[in-house]
Every structure is written in structure tokens, then in C-alpha cells.
Amino acid sequence: MITKERALSIVNGFKDRKILVIGDLILDRYLWGDVERISPEAPVPVVEVREETVNPGGASNVGWNIASLGAETYIAGVIGEDHNGELLENLLREKNIIPLTVKDQNRPTTEKTRIIAVSQQLLRIDRESKNRLSPEVSKRLVEMVKPVVDRVDAIVVSDYGKGVITAEVMDFLKGSGKPVFVDPKPSNFGLYKGITIMTPNRKEAYQCVKADREEAVEEVGRRIMEELGIDTLLITLGKEGMALFEGDRVVRIPARAKKVFDVTGAGDTVVAVLTLARLSGANWLEAASLSNYAAGYVVGEIGTASLTPDRLVALVPE
């Protein structure tokens, strides 16, 4: 569906792109350790921690993927007035991402802590608020991104359902005249009318239109497109690959993963690569195919992972 030569031509255009990512900023914390015994206090493993790392997660991971691929990247969202917020801002700057953050004293910076041992995730601990932004904070966020919108080629909405994507935010983005790519959360489905493309996974797609599990994915996709008034949709299907909807046409793209260790951040990588490829001259099938190769790579890594342009091109066979 895409040749290496064509992939190289598209990826070479990434460095000329400017992208705004907006959504739920998350700090991903990892505790890496070993398990050699079971606790005498309860039938649970005892993890002896040997290393702790932090990475940008959620919408921040989308921005990290885009910046790693060479594009100029802005990221907008809300953090708390806390140490994790400062840590996340510094991480973004270290990864050549320009943060456009609004501090909200009434919510913590979202943090997901994963405990990993023997190449497996044993436990995840979330610290977060899912409350919608107050009208005042939502307005501040819109004001923060207004000066940037005219500079960028497209907007990526990374909705993790933590309250940052509001009607006011979406109305502004859709009225900007820029292409809007959305990695959705079903609870906000009604806010996405008139966007450029949406990239739900199978579960999210079915939840968006309250479809029965027996319903064919082709029918679910058509219902989503009709309800949102959009012409293009990409549904990721895990080990079954992807389904790309363009008008009346549906194309199935086979999965490319050789091994699956961790699906964390795979959707972030898909929307990042899809956006950059489309803006760099790819048609929708080429853009989806390239994002499929990228997703196949990141699910083979433990934890959130990002790609370089050279690595992405190398994933495409001769």
C-alpha cells in the first residue's frame, strides 16, 4: 500500500510541518523492578524497584511523537500548580516541544504510574481529576492557543476524557479553518461534528454510536461518518489492523506488528504519523499505511515510545 521510496518522500516533508496538539496532558511514570517473592502480608508479588523513569503521556505523547519525527510542535493543555506540572513542562521542552499550558489550581497534573517487572505491567496507579474545565479555565486555554493557530498546518485533538476538551475548545478549533485530526473519547462524540478525520480504536468506535458487538465494523464506521458529517475515518482494529473509510470506500489494512508487549500510546503514534503524512503529500491510504507500520513498532516496545524519521522509513519493506 506504500513503497519505501514513497515513504521516504513523504517522511522527508515532516520537517517542514508545524502542528498544534491540544488535549489531556499526562505524566507517565514508570517503576521498573524485579519480582522474586510473594508478600507474606497478601498474595501479591513484591516488586523491588531498580529504576524510575518519566515520559510525556496522553496528548503529551502525541506531541512527543510528532516532535521526534522532525516537525515543529506546539502542545496545549492544562496542568496543576504542582511539581508534576513543572516536571512535565520541562520534559516537553527537553523534547523540543513548545508548551502552551494553563495552570489550574483546582486540579492536579494527571499522572499515571505503571509498575513493570519481568517485561509485564503489574499495576497502574492514576492520580487525576476528570471534571470538565471551568468556563474560566477553558477560556484561558482558547486564548493561549489563538496566536499559534495561524502558524500551524493542522491541529491534533488528543482526548483522554480528563475534561480538557470542551464544547468551547472544539468550536474554536473547528472554526479555525485548519484541518482537525481527532483521537477521540466516546463521551465527547457529539463535539467532533465537522472535523477532518477521527481515529478511534474498535471499542471506542462501537461506543461512539452505541453499536452491538455483532454489528460489522463497516456499518459502525458508516454510522459514525453520517452522524459527524465527515468523509474520512480510520478505525484501528488491533491484531486485525485498520479499516480506512473514504467516502463510500472501505479498505482493510493488515496489522504489521511482529510482537506485542505493550499497546500503551499506540493510538497516539497512529494519529501523529497520520497527520504528518497527510500534510506531507500522502493520500489517505498512504498516510494510514505509514501509521500502521509505526503502530506495529511501538506495540513491540514497553512503555510509551517514539519514532525517528529514519526508523519509520526502515519499517517499510523494499
Among 183, 231, 268, 310, the one annotated catalytic: 268
Query: Under a CB-based contact definition with an 8 Å cutoff, are residues 288 and 253 in contact?
Result: yes
Is 16 a residue of the active site? Answer: no
Q: How far apart are CA 40 and CA 172, in angstroms?
A: 56
Instruction: Please give the full DSSP string across the chain, using - where no structure is assigned.
Output: ---HHHHHHHHTTGGG-EEEEEE-EEEEEEEEEEEEEE-SSSSSEEEEEEEEEEEEEEHHHHHHHHHHTT-EEEEEEEEESSHHHHHHHHHHHHTTEEEEEEEETTSPPEEEEEEEETTEEEEEEEE---PPPPHHHHHHHHHHHHHHHTT-SEEEEE--SSS---HHHHHHHHTTSS-EEEE--GGGGGGGTT-SEE--BHHHHHHHTT--TTS-HHHHHHHHHHHHT-SEEEEE-GGG-EEEEETTEEEEE----S--S--TTHHHHHHHHHHHHHHTT--HHHHHHHHHHHHHHHTTSSSS----HHHHHHHS--
Task: Point out the residues that are catalytic.
Answer: 268
